[in-house]
Amino acid sequence: MKRLLPLLALSACAPRPQPVQVWEGSGRVLLQEQLYRLTFTVNDQTHALRGQLQNRNNGVNYFVDGTFLPVQGGAEITAKASAGDGAKLNASLLGFGVSNITPKSDALLTGRVTGNTFDATLTVNGLRYSVAFTRMQ
């Protein structure tokens, strides 16, 4: 029994796995309907949100990093969606050029969760687009 006590103490300190939330939604971006899937986990203690935003029309995935703050009647989400370490543009002409430019822009995802809906705003290059998400899981 004495040997089990240290193991029990260690297991009590181990972080609990966080449930994965899956949201699907759509919004009109540059006159075209875009479909999105947002998948993330939330750390209950720090309210840190980590996950992935996928544009289902073109299959592009973005890393999502932000906060999921509980408020009365729901939660507020603020997260940066970044392209990550994908392809980079490196070009030069006559000694002048650009390097390490990503062809995909970062975005800011903000909004309010109420029940199973997430009314969001996706801001890309200073332009705002409304996206309505529904919780799938």
Domain ranges of the chain: 20-84+99-117+125-129
Question: pLDDT tens digit string along 115-136?
Answer: 999 999 999 888 999 999 999 9
Q: What is the DSSP string of the chain?
A: -TTHHHHHHHHHHSPPPPPPEEEEEEEEETTEEEEEEEEEEE-TTT-EEEEEEEETTTTEEEEEEEEEEEETTEEEEEEEEE--S---EEEEETTEEEEEE-SSPPEEEEEEEETTEEEEEEEETTEEEEEEEEE--
User: Would the pLDDT of 38 be above 90?
Assistant: yes
Question: pLDDT tens digit string along 59-116?
Answer: 889 999 999 999 999 999 999 999 765 544 455 555 565 555 555 578 999 999 999 9
Q: Record the pTM.
A: 0.75
